[in-house]
Chains A and B, each alone.
Chain A
Amino acid sequence: MDDSELFAVFVADLEQRNACLFATSPADFPLRQLCQIRPVIPILAKFS
């Protein structure tokens, strides 16, 4: 799974939780870093 796909999954997961991410592309958002630091979202934990 590349960053774009991971990003899309992450955004969709957040949307399911009523939350909206400000970053609009993986370039603006340290997604892999977040996965390592805080795998709180099950979908991210799965990929971390």
Chain B
Amino acid sequence: MSDPSRDTNIGQVLMNRYQLTELIGKGSMGRVYRAEDILLGGVPVAVKFLSQTLLNDRMKTRFAQEARAGALLGQKSMHVVRVLDYGMNNEEIPFYVMEFLQGENLSDLLLEEPLPLSRFLRIARHICLGLQVAHEGIVIEGQKCPIIHRDIKPSNVLVIQDNTLGELAKVLDFGIAKFLGDVPEKGQTSSFMGTLAYCSPEQIEGRELDHRSDIYSLGITMYELLTGKMPIQAETHSIGSWFKAHHFQKPVPFSVASPELRLPPALEELIMACMAKSPADRPQSMAEIIQVLTALEEQFGSGRVTQPGIDPIGTMTSQLPAHPSQPPVALATVEEVCWQSVWPADKPVAEIVFPMPLYAQRESAASLWVMLPRAEIDRRMLNIRYNQFLFTTSPHPMILWITAIYDPKQGPRWLPCYLDMKLPRNQELCTLLADTGYYPLLFFPLEDPQHCTNVRTFAIAPFQRQLLRDWLQTSKSLPSSAPATVSRNLLKAEFEKYKPQILAKLENVKMATVID
């Protein structure tokens, strides 16, 4: 915690939207603040600034790249910290905005004690899932670009308690991530970036890397999580010393490092294989590692789950409402359901939006499904997001659920939904919105309507969630005195009046330097 009187950034409002409230972290790359998203009614966010000592063009580009990777990867996995926005403050210092997560990083957790096996398995699987989407890559200008993290270590993994899912691990700090296929700047092919104790032999040499370098760092991290010790020790903390250690030192066997530790042989083998000196001798993909961890997790339990009612993986027998557009096999999370969803047969292939409840094994959420031309989906991925709810009690209780995505070049794309609150399905959607505090927006391209290609998540401000709860109760108790279409038309007229106000708010948010 810092003394606010010493930090002139506290209280600053960035892009007329994010008010900095507290310094929550400092690192070599920059500072991280807690902030409130004023536009969304005070939703907490985290804002990371690039360190002033690194304010050169190359580092600015790298920082923007980090933001971009975080924004695109965060859409694909809940195990990567989500980047929501990017900009520059009045002094031209770049920053990006992330979801605010209250948790501990693994490095801090290790100060207490090594992780017990069941908890380790769950956390390690989450890290792998986050890295898997990075290695699979993100689409930039129509091209798939795999990303390697290059700095996997305990302090770059945050563990949070999710109200619905229990303990979740998220990979953060793609600060030195590398887009495979990037052309290195002249003279920089052999530069070293990473953390010496966790970097692969090829990384410390400054050689061209692939995703198997992350697998090596993951191996060191997993070893440390289980034993609290490092598998390889350098004589001094110099590059030369670590070079020798990573190239020639064998990792200390688990039986020597922690004689009391009893690990399944398959796990020991996996971790030792990850730390092989040659990339060819390591597991060749995250999928291979996840397969082993998942099998072990089913056998040894999935660790600390704080939320009652959530069972270990594979043991829950939930009675889920069937929906033809949702995957036939029950998936664990809403996010997984999103990516497996197909456009429903009872909706036309046309530019429309509609709400849909999503049911996963461990959680449920309301969602919005939208179909747009593929080019527009690609263009709007980094748009500003906005949402708001309006309610009319009479003549028929109805909620207008407004979602907008916006950037100055393309203007707004309004995504309104009218919820007739006398219908049980809409009462359920309202409950889900209030309870979860978020909803995913699923994009389906008009040209290839079968599958969801992009997902963005919207947070709902706490006061809006309370309003939704109140409106739900009111709707149940109020009689309807006219057809629902009358209220719908009233709300449509109201929406037209609101649009300029919302647009003014959105235009007021300085769009900053666009990430691309």
Residues of B within 8 A of A23 (CB): 350-351
Q: Is B488 an interface residue (CB 8 A)?
A: yes
Q: Is B417 an interface residue (CB 8 A)?
A: yes
Question: Are the C-beta atoms of B353 and A20 separated by less than 8 Å?
Answer: yes
Per the CB 8 Å criterion, the residue count for chain A at the interface is 16
**Interface secondary structure of B, over-half rule:** mixed
Question: Are the C-beta atoms of B347 and A20 separated by less than 8 Å?
Answer: no
Q: Given that A20-B417, A20-B418, A40-B345 are known contacts, is A34 also in contact with B354, CB under 8 Å in the complex?
A: no
Residues B474-510 near A (CB distance < 8 A): 485, 488
Number of A-B contacts (CB under 8 A): 48
Q: Is A9 an interface residue (CB 8 A)?
A: no
Question: Are the C-beta atoms of A40 and B346 separated by less than 8 Å?
Answer: yes
Quick one: closest A residue to B417, CB to CB? A20
Q: Is B74 an interface residue (CB 8 A)?
A: no
* Alpha-carbon distance between A22 and B351 when the two chains are bound, in angstroms: 6
Q: Given that A40-B345, A40-B346, A41-B346 are known contacts, is A18 also in contact with B351, CB under 8 Å in the complex?
A: no
Question: Are the C-beta atoms of A40 and B418 separated by less than 8 Å?
Answer: no
* Alpha-carbon distance between A20 and B488 when the two chains are bound, in angstroms: 12
Task: Digitize A18-48: 1 where CB-to-B-CB distance is under 8 Å, 0 elsewhere.
Answer: 1111110000010000100110110010000
Residues of A within 8 A of B353 (CB): 19-20, 22
Question: Are the C-beta atoms of A38 and B418 separated by less than 8 Å?
Answer: no
Question: Are the C-beta atoms of A34 and B350 separated by less than 8 Å?
Answer: yes
* Alpha-carbon distance between A21 and B351 when the two chains are bound, in angstroms: 6
Q: Is B461 an interface residue (CB 8 A)?
A: no
CB distance from B484 to the nearest CB of A (A): 9
Question: Are the C-beta atoms of B355 and A18 separated by less than 8 Å?
Answer: yes
* Alpha-carbon distance between A44 and B348 when the two chains are bound, in angstroms: 10
* Alpha-carbon distance between A27 and B352 when the two chains are bound, in angstroms: 16
Q: Is A14 an interface residue (CB 8 A)?
A: yes
CB distance from B342 to the nearest CB of A (A): 14
Residues of A within 8 A of B348 (CB): 14, 34, 38, 40-41, 44
Q: Is B97 an interface residue (CB 8 A)?
A: no
* Alpha-carbon distance between A21 and B347 when the two chains are bound, in angstroms: 11
Quick one: closest A residue to B372, CB to CB? A22
Q: Is B416 an interface residue (CB 8 A)?
A: yes
Residue of B350, B352, B416 with highest tally of chain A CB at under 10 A = B350
Interface size for chain B: under 10, 10 to 19, 20 to 34, or 35 or more residues? 20 to 34
Q: Is A3 an interface residue (CB 8 A)?
A: no
Quick one: closest B residue to A19, CB to CB? B354
* Alpha-carbon distance between A16 and B13 when the two chains are bound, in angstroms: 43
Q: From the candidates A15, A19, A44, name the one contacting B488 in the complex (CB within 8 A).
A: A15
Residues of B within 8 A of A19 (CB): 347, 352-354
Residues of A within 8 A of B345 (CB): 40
CB distance from B374 to the nearest CB of A (A): 15
Q: Is B426 an interface residue (CB 8 A)?
A: yes
* Alpha-carbon distance between A22 and B415 when the two chains are bound, in angstroms: 8
Task: Digitize B288-314: 1 where CB-to-A-CB distance is under 8 Å, 0 elsewhere.
Answer: 000000000000000000000000000
Residues of A within 8 A of B351 (CB): 21-23
Quick one: closest A residue to B415, CB to CB? A20
Q: From the candidates B346, B349, B352, B426, name the one contacting A21 in the complex (CB within 8 A).
A: B352
* Alpha-carbon distance between A20 and B401 when the two chains are bound, in angstroms: 11
Question: Are the C-beta atoms of B416 and A20 separated by less than 8 Å?
Answer: yes
* Alpha-carbon distance between A15 and B425 when the two chains are bound, in angstroms: 14
Q: From the candidates A17, A18, A38, name the one contacting B349 in the complex (CB within 8 A).
A: A38
Q: From the candidates A18, A29, A37, name the one contacting B354 in the complex (CB within 8 A).
A: A18
* Alpha-carbon distance between A34 and B419 when the two chains are bound, in angstroms: 26
* Alpha-carbon distance between A1 and B266 when the two chains are bound, in angstroms: 70
* Alpha-carbon distance between A41 and B349 when the two chains are bound, in angstroms: 11
* Alpha-carbon distance between A20 and B485 when the two chains are bound, in angstroms: 13
* Alpha-carbon distance between A30 and B347 when the two chains are bound, in angstroms: 16
* Alpha-carbon distance between A15 and B345 when the two chains are bound, in angstroms: 16
Residues of B within 8 A of A17 (CB): 346-347, 354
Q: From the candidates B346, B349, B350, B418, name the one contacting A15 in the complex (CB within 8 A).
A: B418
CB distance from A31 to the nearest CB of B (A): 9
CB distance from A22 to the nearest CB of B (A): 4
Question: Are the C-beta atoms of B352 and A18 separated by less than 8 Å?
Answer: no
Quick one: closest A residue to B425, CB to CB? A18
* Alpha-carbon distance between A9 and B502 when the two chains are bound, in angstroms: 30
* Alpha-carbon distance between A22 and B355 when the two chains are bound, in angstroms: 14
* Alpha-carbon distance between A40 and B355 when the two chains are bound, in angstroms: 19
Question: Are the C-beta atoms of A18 and B426 separated by less than 8 Å?
Answer: yes
* Alpha-carbon distance between A23 and B355 when the two chains are bound, in angstroms: 18
Residues of A within 8 A of B416 (CB): 20
* Alpha-carbon distance between A19 and B350 when the two chains are bound, in angstroms: 11
Residues of B within 8 A of A18 (CB): 354-355, 417-419, 425-426
Quick one: closest B residue to A44, CB to CB? B348
* Alpha-carbon distance between A23 and B512 when the two chains are bound, in angstroms: 30
A-B contact pairs, 11 of them (CB 8 A): A18-B355, A19-B353, A20-B353, A20-B417, A29-B350, A34-B348, A37-B349, A38-B349, A40-B346, A41-B346, A41-B348
Instruction: Report the 9 A-B pairs with minimum CB-CB distance, sorted nearest first.
Output: A19-B354, A22-B351, A19-B352, A18-B354, A21-B352, A20-B353, A20-B416, A38-B349, A18-B355
Residues on A lying within 8 angstroms of B by beta carbon are 14-15, 17-23, 29, 34, 37-38, 40-41, 44
